Structure 1
Amino acid sequence: MSLGFLGAGRIAQALARGFISAGVMPAERMMASAPTERDLLEVKKIGLGITHENKEILHSSDIIFLAVKPGVVSNVLTEIAPWVNSDHLVVSLAAGITIDFIEKKLPSSTKVIRAMPNTPCLVGAGATMFSCGGNVQDRDRAIVNTFFSSLGYCAEGDESLIDACMAISGSGPAFAFTAIDGLADGGVKMGLPRSLAITLAAQTLLGAAKMLLETKCHPCELKDDVCSPAGTTIESIYQLEKGGFRKCLIEAVEASYKRAKEIQAIAKEI
């Protein structure tokens, strides 16, 4: 089995590195294509084969990861359609692009899976949801599940849920990095060295997430355990509530979801 990436940007690089680290696919059995040298040089450093020709990916790979920007998906699908056959498994990573849209651009027998991984796949702590098109067989489903499960949490679900999942897990790392940066700024304001503040903030979010997943407690229950009556933490929570912290997170997820729907609408017009 061999794997090819149409697109060699950050998500392709993260997945390639993750697959190699997890031992599910060696670098020499992966290839990536891109129109520019910059991204290709990065994947070449990882050990992947590189090419400027998308058709070479189709000729050399069994599993095709569609890892290009949503705005160019239509053109790429039109370009590769003559070389796609029923043996290929096409896994789309493009936000907002539906399985139906992809299937209509490719031969009718094409096996299409839509997946939404995130960048923490790079360190084996990813979160991925995927959905399958009508031609996908159990073997294909199992292969994709194995790949993404090796990089963290993976679940199969109905495609109607994918945009909402993407808004949390796909965009969520950026929210977390922003929170870490904000916490670190607070630490620096209180006199901590920058490097120490960032490490403490990152480790705190990591520990809190691990504690939640392992105890399976509701997040509010764990939050309440930290808030002593008239203590420092409940005062901090009060300030977060005054600033609309949870409201901002909810609205950030909603904004990401709505943007995915906008991308779908644009794609249909192309």
Structure 2
Amino acid sequence: MAEAVEEIAVGCIGAGKMARGVLGGLLISGKVPAKNITVSAPTDTNLQYFRARSCSTTHSNLEVVSRCHVIFLATKPHIIPTVLQEVSSAITPNHVIISMAAGVSLKTLEQLCPVGTKLLRISPNLPCVIQEGAVVFSRGPSAGQKEADMLKCLLSGCGMCEETPESYIDIHTGISGSGVAYVYLFAEALADGAVKMGMPSDLSRRIAAQTLLGAAKLILQSGEHPAKLRSDVCTPGGTTIHGLHELEKGSLRATVMNAVEAATKRARELDKR
């Protein structure tokens, strides 16, 4: 499959942050050579990223569909109907259409594409661009195991990639797509706390980032529940339990859970507009 993937012509309609995240991951990993990637966008602004990496660029969405076999849809959710109406006549049974638009369901995509179109829906996050992303995907009824395996092979260069029921995708948006921003906010707060206590800003940011990185790797590599690892750090009467008490006073857990719920609900609302 890996050898076949290298020969696939990959297109992307849209050139914003998520396009850069996913296709950037493909480029860094070497899964697909730049010469096999074509990206479209209405203006040159976002296309500069791809031109600098020797990808083909165009302002024509139809050109992307005509040149490529695998098409990523990376536009804003409300633009998806307009884009698919524009390119629908050029979509053939040989195409694989992969949408990363938040909140746009497979059912909606089916209604906008020719009958029998091979459709997949993915939910990526920004760290795909450094091959540390978290991606989940679901298949439409016309996409089979071959298309699923192809997508897994492509996105394995972006980090974690798992197939899930479609009902999990909006939840993934809430926990991971949007969750990256929650983590950045927490990292900023950690660093600011250290600055308040007298540490230089540059050093505190690096330490905060490494702390989050190390803690995340320990969850993945140990397989332990986060609550168990948290308990391991706490000693009776020690510094950590005093700090955790302050976080509990601020309802950190409930607030984060509410944030995931709010983002998930918003993703679900997007498909109803």
Length-normalised TM-score, structure 2: 0.96
- Aligned residue identity for 2:204: A
Please show how residues 164-183 of structure 1 align to structure 2 within 5 Å: 164-183=171-190
Equivalent residues, number: 266
Q: 1:138 aligns with which of 127, 130, 145?
A: 145
Partner of 1:261, secondary structure, is: helix
| Pair 1:66 & 2:73 matched | yes
Name the counterpart of 1:41. 48
Q: 1:188 aligns with which of 189, 195, 204?
A: 195
* Alignment check: 8 A CA contact 1:97 1:264 kept: yes
Q: 2:126 aligns with which of 119, 125, 146?
A: 119
Q: 1:255 aligns with which of 262, 265, 268?
A: 262
- The separation in 1 between residues aligned to 2:225 and 2:44, in whole angstroms, is 47
Name the counterpart of 2:4. none
Q: 2:14 aligns with which of 7, 23, 43?
A: 7
5+ residue gaps, structure 1, are none
- The separation in 2 between residues aligned to 1:15 and 1:154, in whole angstroms, is 12
Query: What are the superposed Cα offsets for residues 35-55 of structure 1, whole Å, 9 maximum, x if unpaired?
Result: 011001222112211100100
- The separation in 1 between residues aligned to 2:24 and 2:79, in whole angstroms, is 24
Partner of 1:201, secondary structure, is: helix
Partner of 1:130, secondary structure, is: strand
Partner of 1:175, secondary structure, is: helix
- The separation in 2 between residues aligned to 1:149 and 1:51, in whole angstroms, is 27
Name the counterpart of 2:243. 236
State the 1:73 CA deviation. 0.8
- The separation in 1 between residues aligned to 2:72 and 2:126, in whole angstroms, is 15
- The separation in 2 between residues aligned to 1:264 and 1:82, in whole angstroms, is 23
Query: What are the superposed Cα offsets for residues 167-210 of structure 1, whole Å, 9 maximum, x if unpaired?
Result: 11111111111111110111111111111000000000000000
State the 1:137 CA deviation. 2.1
- The separation in 2 between residues aligned to 1:213 and 1:4, in whole angstroms, is 33
- The separation in 1 between residues aligned to 2:23 and 2:155, in whole angstroms, is 11
- Aligned residue identity for 1:232: T
- Aligned residue identity for 2:184: F
Partner of 2:185, secondary structure, is: helix
- The separation in 2 between residues aligned to 1:191 and 1:156, in whole angstroms, is 46
4+ long deviations beyond 4 Å? none
- The separation in 2 between residues aligned to 1:3 and 1:34, in whole angstroms, is 15
Q: CA RMSD in A?
A: 0.8
Partner of 2:52, secondary structure, is: helix
State the 1:20 CA deviation. 1.3
Name the counterpart of 2:230. 223
- The separation in 1 between residues aligned to 2:174 and 2:232, in whole angstroms, is 29
- The separation in 1 between residues aligned to 2:23 and 2:226, in whole angstroms, is 33
5+ residue gaps, structure 2, are 1-7
- Aligned residue identity for 1:214: Q
- The separation in 2 between residues aligned to 1:47 and 1:187, in whole angstroms, is 42
* Alignment check: 8 A CA contact 1:4 1:64 kept: yes
